[in-house]
Structure 1
Amino acid sequence: MNQPQVGATDNTSADQPGKGMAADIAEQPGVYADVLDHGAAEIARIAAIIAERRPRSIVFTARGTSDHAALYAAYLTEIRLGLPASLASPSVVTVYDARPDWSDSLVIAVSQSGGSPDLAQVVAAARASGALTLAVTNNPDSRLAGEAELHLDVRAGHERAVAATKTYTAELLTLLLLIEGIRTGTGRLDAAEATAIGKLPELASGVLATTGAAELAGRYRFASRFVTTGRGYAYPTARETALKLMETSYLPSLAFSGADLLHGPLAMTDPGVPVLAVVGSGPGGHAMWNVLTQLGKQRADVVVVGAADVPGQTARLATPAVDERFAALLDILPLQQLALHLAIERGENPDAPRGLKKVTETV
């Protein structure tokens, strides 16, 4: 039975740093399989309800890691559904006491714990304005789930480490199935889509078994900062990677869209600043080639995450060549491992980052 985590973690002892995070990372192929085997029917039901309501736009609200999952879903919404998508700022409601008119919108709140009061207030305000509201959480009994008209459980189960890993990818998969289900209008996936998505658990197992993240962590043990970058569906992966590095190793890590990187921040890259570049096999990946060319001119230390080698790269964390929508669920895996091993190399315990707890309550 799924047991969502809503309180303190059972972090491992100081002599086993990273054991909890390593276990969470390793469980992700099984989480994918569980969502597909036991959660897909409910996702399809919710998708069909949403399709029938025909929202004119989709508004997402989230914090932290879940904000990156929401950004991924925003790309899906605009590309696959052709609907405008946005990310609402909770402070508009909670700090400024404004009440936007979301009456023709679907408002989706994404939260692992469902315990942050500000997200619940946004959903309540959206529902009062006439919006259709959906909570996507790892805790069906949370306040957020209760505030929304609809709820989806991401089925990630208990997460041991404070830094989120399997809850993030479970959110990605749930949102992918939801958006694709809305696109068909019936909630059910096209046969080709279902077949391709059904391969994700096996592909994820292969990625986790073959990455060189531990060796790469040794190389960057003394790095003082990182830059992460990607375009399109890969951009949320870049942002989530930066967050994981900051949470677990306390390393300043700046995430940029590949396009934004060229608008100024490129100047700070040099051989002493590692760049983690997520390069997919589709349009977003192709759009990264100019970025990589410019990084090469800067003699930047570039680690590519993707299916193909890139001229001038320092190293590559290999992932399969798949549709960019699905790559988001695979490319993050070796980067989670890199964050884990880098923290351990630096003498930190990624299971229990200083000053952080699993549920962060913001208002």
Structure 2
Amino acid sequence: MTTPGQLMRAEIAEQPTVLANVLASYGAHLAPVVARLRSHDTRAVLLVARGTSDHAALYAKYLIETRIGLPVGLVSTSTYTAYDTRPALDGVVWIAVSQSGGSPDLVESTEKARAAGAMTIALTNADGSPLEEAAELRLPMLAGAERSVAATKTYTTSLLWLWLLVEGWAQRPLDAAAGVPDWVAASLDRPEVADVASRYRFVERLVTTSRGFAYPTAREAALKLMETCYLSAHAFSGADLLHGPLAMVDEDRPVVVICPDGRGGAALEPVLEQLHARSADVCLVAPSEVRGSAALRIPLPSGMVEELAPIAQIVPLQQLALQLAVSRHHDPDHPRGLQKVTRTT
């Protein structure tokens, strides 16, 4: 008999090893895709994904816009499926991200994008999946089997692969990623997570927020808390939070702020000031060099590259979702009504 959260706990703990394995073996998979990208006359990039993978795609959007300098859009798949739209996609790079590679809407929209002239790339964790078959080029996540419904290691491996892809495309050195497994290992089993889980055990509503490369972390953290703990978690960029939603924040609605060391962290300073002025119950997830007033703090490793930091930032928040769910007598491995593969059309 398995204990609640056993699978999720094990898969969270596997992440340093899985990420190290990706760094040891990405070359043969990445090289032909990067070569094709460099020879392609690209005018725009479209990203398509669902759920957790959608947050990985949002991360890639920030990377491509800042590192390659191309316009990037997140695809509304229903325009290709429900509405059967067939736009001209010559000069477009289409990147599909999916753990299972089995969602019909991702497969159908990728098939149509390829037929419409896009260069299509599939990043999946399932060899021979329908999405891989639909795309021209393929990248394997190499995360290994993930059995918990709540995705953890497939998310962090997706981020690493997308960073490698974009940096390789930009013809930049890839050695900055060498520290990622150690950063993730240092983010595991932080004792402060238990303190946050205890304080938030009976919370029914909270907010997550960040900016820049860490904003997808806020989105993914909110999703993990919703699907495992069944609470109402709203994710906002720091800028959007100040444009209205701040009105709902008070001492009874906790705010989890993911604050990187870098430009994204600097952009969050006005947000932290406003939260402090409202006496908000803030949990700051940040390295020690980031200062800020907060009731709780989950420390992150120092010295992380801002663009790579999201791979480690999410880890203590995965563990927060796990611990909070178990404390509420839920099983995060098998959230009610959810399946590992969601089939949308």
Normalization by structure 2: what TM-score?
0.97
How many angstroms apart in 2 are the aligned matches of 1:171 and 1:54? 25
User: Are positions 1:169 and 2:156 aligned together?
Assistant: yes
Match among 287, 293, 299 for residue 312 of structure 1 = 293
Q: The residue matched to 1:326 in structure 2 has which SS?
A: coil
Q: Deviations over 1:227-251 (max 9, x none)?
A: 0000010110000000000000000
What letter corresponds to residue 319 of structure 1 in structure 2?
A: L
Residue aligning to 1:213: 193
- 1:216 shift after superposition: 1.4
Q: Pairwise mapping of residues 146-185 of structure 1 onto structure 2 (< 5 A)?
A: 146-184=133-171
Count of aligned pairs = 343
Q: The residue matched to 1:212 in structure 2 has which SS?
A: helix
Whether contact under 8 Å (1:233, 1:284) holds in the other structure is: yes
How many angstroms apart in 1 are the aligned matches of 2:9 and 2:195? 16
How many angstroms apart in 1 are the aligned matches of 2:291 and 2:330? 32
User: Are positions 1:37 and 2:17 aligned together?
Assistant: no
Q: Pairwise mapping of residues 245-260 of structure 1 onto structure 2 (< 5 A)?
A: 245-260=225-240
**Fraction of identical pairs, as percent:** 51
Match among 69, 77, 85 for residue 72 of structure 2 = 85
How many angstroms apart in 2 are the aligned matches of 1:85 and 1:211? 39
Change (3 A) 1:44 1:305: farther
Whether contact under 8 Å (1:304, 1:310) holds in the other structure is: no
- 1:41 shift after superposition: 3.2
Q: The residue matched to 1:280 in structure 2 has which SS?
A: coil
Whether contact under 8 Å (2:186, 2:301) holds in the other structure is: no
What letter corresponds to residue 74 of structure 1 in structure 2?
A: K
Q: Pairwise mapping of residues 184-333 of structure 1 onto structure 2 (< 5 A)?
A: 184=171, 189-190=172-173, 193-194=174-175, 196-308=176-288, 310-321=291-302, 322-333=304-315
Residue aligning to 1:53: 40
- 1:273 shift after superposition: 0.7
What letter corresponds to residue 97 of structure 1 in structure 2?
A: D
How many angstroms apart in 2 are the aligned matches of 1:361 and 1:29? 30
How many angstroms apart in 2 are the aligned matches of 1:120 and 1:210? 39
Match among 114, 118, 138 for residue 101 of structure 2 = 114
User: Are positions 1:126 and 2:94 aligned together?
Assistant: no
Residue aligning to 1:98: 85
Alignment root-mean-square deviation, CA:
1.1
How many angstroms apart in 1 are the aligned matches of 2:158 and 2:257? 22
How many angstroms apart in 2 are the aligned matches of 1:294 and 1:44? 46
Whether contact under 8 Å (1:211, 1:318) holds in the other structure is: no
Match among 312, 323, 331 for residue 349 of structure 1 = 331
Whether contact under 8 Å (1:278, 1:306) holds in the other structure is: yes
How many angstroms apart in 1 are the aligned matches of 2:215 and 2:292? 21
Bigger drift between 108-117 and 299-308 goes to: 299-308
- 1:202 shift after superposition: 1.4
- 1:312 shift after superposition: 2.3
Q: Deviations over 1:9-54 (max 9, x none)?
A: xxx63xx101100001000001111110012331133112111113
Q: The residue matched to 2:337 in structure 1 has which SS?
A: coil
How many angstroms apart in 2 are the aligned matches of 1:100 and 1:282? 38
Whether contact under 8 Å (1:161, 1:352) holds in the other structure is: yes
- 1:213 shift after superposition: 1.1
Q: Identify unmatched segments of 5+ residues in structure 1.
A: 1-11
- 1:211 shift after superposition: 4.6
